[in-house]
């Protein structure tokens, strides 16, 4: 069996999503099927091929038979697979045969079609429409930015699911744990499943949207790389989620702010219902949860999800009392990437230089919001130009411009609490 290079774990076909590792098929009509090890290996093999494969080659490469062997095994297995992955096995759209040449697998994308389980999208209609409009109008590069825990990946996954339903080919690549350069390219080539050079791989895919999720730690390398990819593949569109802006590359930026109070409350209640199997607050409880969602938790979706999960064991009053130490409470297994809000904040903190950390700590000690001259006084002994610092921290989505007639800056309350706590811990 040919196992020299593994295909992407997920395959999205016309009407079904296949997880090759779990050997699970989820069809568009909601029904599911399980694959045998051989069936999963055959699909993975065909997904790596750019041309139809004859039965004789399948016998040697997948079944491990000797050359010139004869068997109906490929035909029988293909028929069985079509009953599992095709909505209409008599008219296959994914597992096709070409007379005289062999079998080929036609994939729509290499990203899972299911929306992220447990991740409710609330209060993002405007940004959702904005991104979809940019893509349909032909915008080549979109950057989705925002502070830690604001829901960039969740929004991107919902957009991918909608694009797939409309027939747009998409490729999703998670870059959160990849290092700049070779590891990023390895993640990309494994997902695309091609042996061609990178430019040819992108062109051969035709019109499609590539989504690069969690790219803030590789943003410096990625900016120049993406610029080259767009030149190599004129039909490629790229969406990047990153806490940090890309420099030296032209992109349309969509910045996510925390949720408005009404949406924040609904997300908190939705997370509570998911955790408790049907949380139904009284009028008084809902009244207590509204300021918690918008003020204490700052409308930050990740914080709201962790807090909502706690309502499965705590009353709103008990939860409110414990949120005086938010990073002790806002944790749990409810998120697919972060085990706690503190972990999400740590990720941003670790991307900062020593000077940026010192400057952020100085900004956190100022009354919020603060003016430019306040920062200048606070950083007078730092030996750095204030505008450089503010620009850098803004690019990391850790400072925001506040509303007002004169330039004002602010930190999200939970970001500020994290920075002040980090400062106090360092002093100890």
223 or 249, which is more confident: 223
0.85 exceeded by pTM: no
CA distance 110 to 173: 9
Write the pLDDT tens digit of every residue in 105-126. 887 544 443 444 345 689 999 9
- Closest by CA to 237, choosing from 147, 325, 140, 99, is 140
Write the pLDDT tens digit of every residue in 138-176. 999 999 999 999 999 999 988 988 888 888 889 888 888
Torsion 270-272-276-281 (CA) sign: negative
- Other beta carbons within 10 angstroms of residue 34's beta carbon come to 11
- Per cent of the chain over pLDDT 70 is 90
Q: Would the pLDDT of 21 be above 90?
A: no
Write the pLDDT tens digit of every residue in 297-356. 999 999 999 999 999 889 999 999 999 999 999 998 766 678 899 999 999 999 999 889
| Partners of residue 144 on adjacent β-strands | 241, 254
Q: What pLDDT score does 115 carry?
A: 40
Q: What pLDDT score does 352 carry?
A: 94
Does residue 81 contact residue 95 with C-beta atoms inside 8 Å?
A: yes
CA distance 363 to 382: 12
């Amino acid at each position: 069996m040919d196992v020299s290079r593994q295909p992407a774990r997920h395959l999205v076909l016309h009407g079904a999503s296949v997880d090759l590792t779990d050997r699970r098929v989820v069809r568009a009509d909601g029904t599911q099927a399980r694959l045998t090890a051989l069936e999963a290996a055959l699909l993975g093999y065909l997904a790596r091929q750019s041309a139809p494969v004859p039965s004789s080659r399948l016998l040697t490469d997948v079944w491990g038979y000797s050359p010139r062997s004869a068997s109906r095994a490929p035909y029988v297995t293909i028929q069985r697979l079509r009953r599992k992955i095709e909505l209409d096995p008599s008219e296959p759209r994914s597992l096709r045969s070409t007379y005289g040449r062999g079998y080929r697998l036609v994939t729509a994308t290499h990203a899972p079609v299911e929306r992220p389980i447990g991740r409710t999208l609330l209060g993002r209609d405007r940004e959702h429409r904005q991104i979809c409009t940019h893509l349909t109008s032909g915008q080549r590069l979109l950057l989705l930015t925002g502070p830690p825990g604001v829901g960039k990946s969740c929004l991107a996954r919902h957009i991918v699911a909608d694009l797939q339903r409309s027939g747009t080919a998409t490729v999703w690549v998670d870059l959160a744990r990849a290092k700049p350069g070779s590891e990023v390219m390895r993640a990309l080539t494994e997902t695309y499943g091609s042996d061609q050079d990178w430019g040819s791989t992108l062109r051969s895919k035709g019109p499609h949207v590539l989504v690069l999720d969690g790219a803030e730690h590789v943003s410096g390398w990625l900016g120049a790389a993406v610029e080259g990819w767009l030149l190599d593949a004129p039909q490629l569109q790229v969406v990047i989620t990153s806490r940090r802006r890309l420099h030296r590359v032209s992109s349309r930026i969509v910045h996510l702010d925390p949720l408005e109070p009404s949406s924040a409350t609904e997300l908190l209640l939705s997370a509570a219902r998911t955790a408790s199997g049907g949380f139904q607050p009284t009028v008084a409880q809902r009244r207590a949860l509204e300021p918690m969602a918008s003020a204490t938790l700052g409308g930050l979706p990740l914080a709201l999800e962790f807090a909502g999960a706690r309502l499965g064991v705590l009353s709103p009053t008990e939860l409110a009392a414990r949120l005086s130490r938010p990073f002790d409470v806002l944790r749990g297994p409810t998120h697919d990437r972060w085990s706690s809000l503190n972990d999400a904040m740590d990720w941003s903190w670790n991307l900062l230089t020593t000077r940026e950390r010192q400057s952020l700590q100085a900004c956190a000690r100022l009354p919020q919001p603060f003016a430019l001259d306040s920062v200048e006084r606070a950083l007078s002994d730092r030996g750095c130009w204030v505008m450089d610092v503010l620009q850098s921290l803004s690019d990391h989505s850790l400072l925001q411009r506040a509303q007002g007639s004169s330039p004002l800056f602010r930190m999200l309350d939970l970001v500020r609490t994290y920075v002040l706590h980090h400062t106090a811990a360092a002093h100890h």
